[in-house]
Amino acid sequence: MKETPSKINRKFWDMMFGKLKKLGTAIEVAKGPGMSIDDAEHFWVNDRIEYYETNGRLLTKEEMKMANALWNKYRPQRGY
């Protein structure tokens, strides 16, 4: 039996979650060594990455909006 091809654009989502990893690092850098281990923004980003890597779960429209807002707030500087 043939498997039906996935309609998910893996290249796009791999790139998107690569940016989320950069965002997680940018949050760590911005908040510095005093950042709480339970920081809500950092936890949210890492949680979404983990869901994608373990379950293949993609972001919803609302999660994309949240990620974009965090990206605008903590945007990594050049040379990162």
- CA distance linking residue 65 with residue 71, whole number of Å: 10
pLDDT at 5: 57
Which residues, other chains included, contact 26 with Cβ-Cβ below 8 Å and sequence gap of 6+? 74, 75, 76, 80
Alpha-carbon 32 to chain mean position = 19
User: In this predicted structure, what is the pLDDT of residue 2?
Assistant: 53
Instruction: Spell out a b/e string for 45-74, using b for 16 or more CB atoms within 10 Å of the CB, else e.
Output: bbebbeebeeeeebbeeeeeebbeebbeeb
The predicted pLDDT at position 44 comes to 97
Residue 8 lies in a domain: no
39 in a structural domain = yes
Position 79 confidence tier, pLDDT thresholds 50, 70, 90: low
- The answer to whether residue 64 sits within a structural domain is yes
- Determine the pLDDT at residue 75: 87
Residue 13 lies in a domain: no
Residue 7 within any structural domain of the chain: no
SS3 7: coil
Give domain status of residue 65, yes or no: yes
Report yes or no on 14 lying in a domain: no
* Domain enclosing residue 38, as ranges: 20-74
Question: How many domains, the chain?
Answer: 1
In a domain, 79, yes or no: no
Question: What digits encode the pLDDT tens for the residues 17-71?
Answer: 999 999 999 999 999 999 998 999 999 999 999 999 999 999 999 999 999 999 9
